[in-house]
Structure 1
């Protein structure tokens, strides 16, 4: 086994110099080859496959000063990282650090900061706007929804961050979306589906609406238009790969039908490839209810 000493000094990471003080170069090479030790950055190794948190600690060690996380890395730490991103995003530490496939260095002079578990990050509202500016409209709304749902920032704070980032690329698109952001949205695809309704001119639905059936059981639907007794649900393929989930949904649709509700299901293709047809199906149910 690799000696614990060098790794214990810095929460599971160590520099080449520290490791060579405890083992020979040949032993280190063998441990790396056998998968006992992992390269994090040039000159820094860990006992576990590196993730963003590990890379941040490695940068702290190399630079001898804590780095500031931003963009998707900060969003993940805050709990509203909707976009898969294995890279580690940091603010320019003021010394020569080059971007690489694992590390992305950003120039954001004057960005407000917040400390979380001893790590400085760009403030949550600033981070949410920064990430949203880089994304397509549906994913931008998903990020804004997730930021509100995480409880790390409020709508007022997002509006203030919007003013702070006035004139930056993509900010106009985010400004148009921000009034529609809603903390009740529970997944990025629900956010995308709601934007389809907005763009399609449908009335604003109630989110996570509860309906009681004839047996007294409460059922919650993703979207509801109570005046029309029409509901819409996003159906994930992963969810329906489970037989119990499939049976649950069939019972849910039947129970809602018993109390006069019509449910319109949608999958990812309905949302992303055929949004007009999805809106038309819902509009048809409105006409029938009328």
Structure 2
């Protein structure tokens, strides 16, 4: 005997996931869930076996930020009566995170203390309340805001350098680069500060406050943040980010960071600079700075692995060659 067909309202277009209550509302018995055309997503939540779920790749995530399809993550969070947070929120927002904080096969979510920990194997619970102003929806998933997610990163790290929190903050406040131009920033430094103020005391608050003082607009990658911090730690002045030879002039040579007063720029050439097209753009960039009489230092992944010791030494040597002379800053 074939099981009764599922109504169209319980399907990929109208309702990708459904519950026992949804079955009852359509006059179907609960044992209908045992049929082979239905599979379990999480306790109490199911979907059709034949449905093709929306993919993370289609939403612009080359690496899935969660172990389930987007609509299934939304169902897991809703069923657990929580808010996606911590590692899951970092990945959903696309913020950089330290290598040891990787996706672990569960959905991280925050739940009010009174509800206790979730017993669902696909969920990692964090017992705390998240105010509504710190919750947004991404791809149908309730998730901590980018500001609260950034603050939570500080709570996940052991005591030590604040660099990972600074890098995440830089990524949050810097307009994203695209071939068509930069997108608006996802948040601002004042909004990060306001989030810390309303969050009260929490583990990591001191690290977050210290990191916030170092967050800047203009770093396009964690290595660029690390380079800036290495220069500052060496006692050098803070470099200008996204420096342009002729500010406001279309087609002007640009650099990741540099010192206008010393006519010195630094280019961090990561893995994407290996393509022939990018190398051609880099040559035009370098020729523009060279014609203007500026010194240049090209920084590589090897420098990053070495803590930028060579780069710092070259910046110091360039400054010493100037013998205290500086150029007019226009």
The bucket for the TM-score relative to the shorter chain is 0.7 to 0.9
Aligned partner of 1:31 in structure 2 is none
Distance of aligned partners of 1:183 and 1:22 in 2 relative to their CA distance in 1, 3 Å threshold? farther
The alpha carbon displacement at 1:10 in A equals 5.8
Aligned with residue 219 of structure 1, among 245, 253, 256: 253
The aligned counterpart of 2:169 is 144
Tell me how far apart the structure 1 counterparts of residues 41 and 290 of structure 2 sit (CA, whole Å): 56
Shift of 1:71: 2.4
Counterpart in 2 of 1:44? Answer: 46
Separation in structure 1 between the aligned mates of residue 303 and residue 135 of structure 2, nearest angstrom: 40
Gaps of 5+ in 1: 29-36
**Shift in alpha-carbon separation, 1:132–1:23, aligned structure 2, 3 A:** closer
Alignment of 1:1-290 (within 5 A): 5=8, 6-8=10-12, 11-14=15-18, 25-26=35-36, 40-42=41-43, 44-45=46-47, 47-48=52-53, 51=68, 53-59=70-76, 62=79, 67-77=82-92, 79-83=93-97, 85-86=102-103, 87-92=106-111, 94=115, 97-98=118-119, 100=121, 102-109=122-129, 111=131, 112-116=133-137, 120-135=142-157, 137-149=162-174, 151-165=185-199, 167-212=201-246, 217-237=251-271, 239-290=272-323
- Contact 1:97–1:105 under 8 Å retained in 2: yes
The runs of 5 or more residues in structure 2 that have no matched partner are 56-66, 176-184, 324-330
Shift of 1:220: 1.4
| Alpha carbons of structure 1 residues 10 and 134: separation in structure 2 relative to 1, 3 Å | farther
TM-score (norm 1): 0.76
* Deviation per residue, 1:110-155 (Å, 9 max, x gap): 5453343675443442221112332463221111112223644432
- TM (norm. structure 2) is 0.68
User: How far did residue 255 of structure 1 move?
Assistant: 2.4
Deviation at 1:4, TM superposition (A): 8.1
Q: 1:186-227: per-residue Cα shift (whole Å, max 9, x none)?
A: 222222222212222221111111114xxx841110001001
How far apart in 2 are the matches of 1:89 and 1:236?
A: 31
Question: Is the contact between residue 73 and residue 141 of structure 2 (CA under 8 Å) also seen in structure 1?
Answer: no
Q: Is the 8 A contact 1:232 1:266 kept in 2?
A: yes
> Residues 58 and 211 (structure 1 numbering): CA distance in 2 closer, same or farther, change over 3 Å?
same
Distance 1:277 1:119 in 2: 45
Instruction: Work out whether residues 52 and 88 of structure 1, in 8 Å CA contact, stay in contact via their aligned partners in 2.
Output: no
Where is the helix percentage greater, Structure 1 or Structure 2? 1
In structure 2, C-alpha distance between the alignment counterparts of 1:143 and 1:159, rounded to whole Å: 14
Q: RMSD between aligned alpha carbons?
A: 3.6
Secondary structure (helix, strand or coil) at the match of 1:201 reads coil
Query: Which contiguous aligned blocks of 4+ residues in structure 1 show a shift greater than 6 angstroms?
Result: 19-24
Aligned to 1:282, the other structure's residue is in SS state: helix
Deviates more, 1:226-235 or 1:137-146: 137-146
